[in-house]
Structure 1
Amino acid sequence: MTLMAKYQYYYRPKGIKSRYELMVFYCESQPFLPLTDYYHDCIGRNNKSTALTYLNCLLPFFSWLDQSSNYQGKRVQWDQPPEAIRVAAEDYLRQEMGCKVRENETFKFVNRTNRSPKTVSLFLSALKSFYKSLIQLKQYKYSNPLIDSYAILDNYKSSTEGVRKDKPRMPSEAGTEDAIPHRRMTDSYFKLINEEWQPEIIDDPYLPFRIYKAGKKVNWSLREVVIARMLFETGARVSEVIELTIGDYRSRKSYQEVSTFNKGSHGKKVKFLRFSKDTVKLLMKYLNTERKHFDKLNCGFENLPNEAPMFLTELGTPFLYESWYYHWSRAIKVSGIKLNPHKTRHWFVTTRLREIYNTSKTEAEINQKKMELIKYIHWKDKNTIDVYEHYFDEEKHRKSHDQMLENMAKRETEYLQQKSEKKLKQGSFVFDNKEKIIIDSEIQELLDGLE
């Protein structure tokens, strides 16, 4: 059955006074405050692109609740107790997302199938985030349905019970009890299995230029061109570029750099982005022409205050992710390439690593440059780069294997050119199985392992 989209959102029209910049409507006419309040609470804890992504994941689910959910013979309402919400979420995962769900004590395992979209994890995160917000806003009076409370309780018990019977743990400084290994508490009621995050390896050297060409076809302005170039050249997230200020540019020593925030830094400028001289020229041209035209004070770069946003809309207001994405998606559609904006970051890392391997002369130089890349990207977990390196390890194996196959083909040709085995070139060996061959112990160990 095809679901009708009953829930949709609209941005606040110009000239309308409201504390909401976006509002969700039910059947296009009736405001739906739970999702509206959730969105605005979410942008207080995340960036706007994340909040909008979560909202887009929830809208189909809420439409499905009204049309197809069933708990004890009735449709499920979003504000019902956790038991009803869990049943509805499980049915939605099975029926609409093609997942397999199975019981495991106090929670459920979720397996994606070939019918499942890639957004299963995103949907579960969004629903969990929704109830977290509505509980904080005092609009949902129960515990979070997407949290496995027993997992929290078990984790708490294991972290407080000591090795001494009926006694709490001694402080770590006492040194009398084994330390508890650090591990992240998995508190989700629906636990995705075999869903370890893997970055996408995008190894098309011409990808940026294909996107620029598509942008030209849909008449991108200088603003969209500069943003796209910054994404590919810096490896930044979209919000880290779109939300730049003039002061972020002036704060750096180099005219090819800007300061920006990082995911989780709560707006604090903790890293920098570096881009090409050609992009600098386009940026300055944008600031002194296109942007100046839309600026309410008609200021160019030299006269702009530090707090002024770098990118503006045609109305002279700060450029937002939602407005930018409209222009991006038009170009992507024309290009014929399915490219989520975040993939520009994966492309940057893949390209950067390839250059490191191609230009470095020693292993020490490779390691040094990799550490520089990790610091630049600001990865919290340094092991993230290992997944990318696995790709290059496979590439190196393919090259060396191809070389081996090429050598085998040459030797086969040489062998066939001989009139008899007696005329084999010196250095070629035919082993007589009756002969006793002395083999190095390490090689023998390797051979034994192949049996």
Structure 2
Amino acid sequence: MQGALRLVRTSDLLFPEQVVLPDETADLMLTLFLKEATLRASLSRSSVRPYLYKLMPLRAFERDDPVVQREGWSLLGPEAEVRAIIDRYLRSKLACDVKPGKDRLGLEVLFVQATGRSPPGVNDFLAAVGCLYHVLRRCGFYRFKHPLMREDLQQVEQALRDARYAAYVATLNRGPMPPQSGVDPVLPTPRVSSRHFALRGAEWRPIIVSDPLLYPRLRLLAKAAGWRLRELAILELLFQTGARISEVCALTLGDWAASNFLCFALSIDKGSRGERWKRINFDNPAAALLRNYVERERRVLDSQHRGMQEFQAQHRLGRLDPSAPLFLTHAGRAINPN
């Protein structure tokens, strides 16, 4: 692509990572987002880069698209210009159907629906754009209103509450009783769309898998495909413990050492903020698989080439680093669940 952007590391102390344009100059908008998203938008560090990779093609599209260039639109321009660029990007690059319409309350909205030609992650793209402008506005880099959000949302919701109260009084000659009284039914407030772009057909429905042969089949397929011990061990823990993939990948040697490297480990939990609140249990074959992985594959990747004997000795002497990752990448770092 003519206008492709790249993410590079620099010696700049203020912006050690920068998004650069084809002429090797920094793209200030995306570089600022990369640096400030965690602080300004409460975005987790693991989400910043995936969002950034959704935004970089949009930035390149702004520079290269002939219609955008002819109209003089800019992603830093007024809200209408930004929405026009996103509308065109959704149609031409993401192959989405974008149709104007009204939601259940009669408010105007653009309905976005992915087609068979659309790449995955259209919802992630819209979330990334929304997050981008939250960050830019809080940093003072974007001086207009948020282009994707309804600024009158609170006023609309208050008008709905007032209208519902007035209808109640007109019907019963009194106001509604408090919900805890049990006298009147609790009426849900109609949901107001807070965004100018509304994604259709994106509802996630959990599917309960009750096939008792699923796990044995997956294990056989994994071995036939030549999975390494690390992947086999992670698969074993996922099915045996019911833990989330992020929780399994975050396991440390200290977590497993709580059982003397036997059949349970401590684990983070949803909302635990890194604290080891949960205990996950697994059987002897799974523990043996973990020990085999640590002794064979992990030893090679460990900076000091330590195996089970070394870790067990360090644990007995109280010298084991409890934060050392259990599962390592080829670079010797903790594995990323993504």
What TM-score, normalized by structure 1, do the two folds share?
Answer: 0.56
> Partner residue of 1:301?
311
Q: After TM superposition, list the pairs within 5 Å mapping 1:112-151 onto structure 2.
A: 112-151=114-153
Change (3 A) 1:23 1:274: farther
Confirm or deny: 8 A CA contact 2:55 2:125 kept in the other structure: yes
TM-superposition CA deviations, 1:190-229 (whole Å, max 9, x none): 111232213467778323432343344xxx4x44443344
1:267 aligns with 2:274: yes
2:179, 2:186 within 8 Å by CA — same for their partners in 1? no
Partner residue of 2:85? 88
The percentage of counterpart residues that share the same residue type is 26
SS in 2 for 1:55: helix
- Structure 1 gaps of 5+ residues are 326-451
Aligned-partner Cα distance in 2 for 1:236–1:256: 15
- Matched with 2:218 is 207
Are the equivalent residues in 2 in contact too, given 1:246–1:310 (CA < 8 A)? yes
CA offsets, 1:293-328, max 9 Å, x none? 554566543322222222334554x3242xx76xxx
**SS at the partner of 1:110?**
strand
| Structure 2 Cα separation of the partners of residues 91 and 315 of structure 1 | 40
Partner Cα separation in structure 2 for residue 276 and residue 152 of structure 1:
53
Taking a change above 3 Å as real, the CA distance of residues 117 and 17 of structure 1, as seen in their structure-2 partners, is closer
From 31, 40, 57, the equivalent of 1:36 is 31
**1:319-350 CA distance string (max 9 Å, x none):** 242xx76xxxxxxxxxxxxxxxxxxxxxxxxx
Q: How does 1:64-213 map to 2 (within 5 A)?
A: 64-68=61-65, 70=67, 73-103=70-100, 104=102, 105-159=107-161, 163=165, 172=178, 179-181=186-188, 186-199=193-206, 205=214, 206-213=217-224
How far does residue 88 in structure 1 lie from its aligned partner after superposition? Answer: 0.8
Contact 1:107 1:148 in 2 (8 A): no
Distance 1:213 1:32, change over 3 A: farther
Checking the alignment, whether the CA contact within 8 Å between 2:3 and 2:21 is kept in structure 1 is no
After superposing the two structures, state which structure 1 stretch, 227-236 or 189-198, moved more. 227-236
Question: How far apart are residue 133 of structure 1 and its match?
Answer: 2.4
8 Å CA contact 1:66–1:76 kept in 2: the answer is no
Listed as ranges, the matches of 1:251-266 within 5 Å are: 251=258, 255-262=262-269, 265-266=272-273
SS at match of 1:149: coil
Question: 5+ residue gaps in structure 2?
Answer: 170-174, 315-319
- Per-residue Cα deviation, 1:217-276 (whole angstroms, up to 9, x for no partner): xxx4x4444334434554544432222223333457994333433455543445454445
- TM-score, normalising length: structure 2: 0.72
CA distance in 2, matches of 1:112, 1:251: 48
Alignment correspondent of 2:254: 247
Match of 1:56 in 2: 53
* Shift in alpha-carbon separation, 1:53–1:211, aligned structure 2, 3 A: farther
Give the number of the structure whose alpha-carbon radius of gyration is greater.
1
Amino acid in the other structure paired with 1:319? A
**C-alpha spacing 1:277/1:28, structure 2 compared with 1 (3 Å):** farther
- Which residue identity lines up with residue 108 of structure 2 in the other structure? T
- Relative distance call for 1:170 and 1:200 in structure 2 (3 A) is closer
Q: Secondary structure at the match of 1:197?
A: coil
Task: Quote the Cα distance in structure 1 between the aligned partners of 2:38 and 2:232.
Answer: 27
Deviation at 1:70, TM superposition (A): 3.8
Q: Say whether the 8 Å CA contact 1:69–1:91 is kept in structure 2.
A: no
Task: Tell whether 2:334 aligns with 1:319.
Answer: yes
Aligned residues: 311
Structure in which a larger fraction of residues adopt helix:
1
Distance 1:74 1:193 in 2: 29
Q: Compute the displacement of 1:82 (Å).
A: 1.5
Structure 1 262/187 Cα, relative in aligned 2: closer, same or farther at 3 Å? farther
Q: CA deviation at 1:46?
A: 4.4
Q: Is the 8 Å Cα contact of residues 70 and 88 (structure 1) preserved in structure 2? A: no
- Aligned equivalents of 2:254 and 2:124: distance in 1? 34
Q: What is the match of residue 27 of structure 1?
A: 22
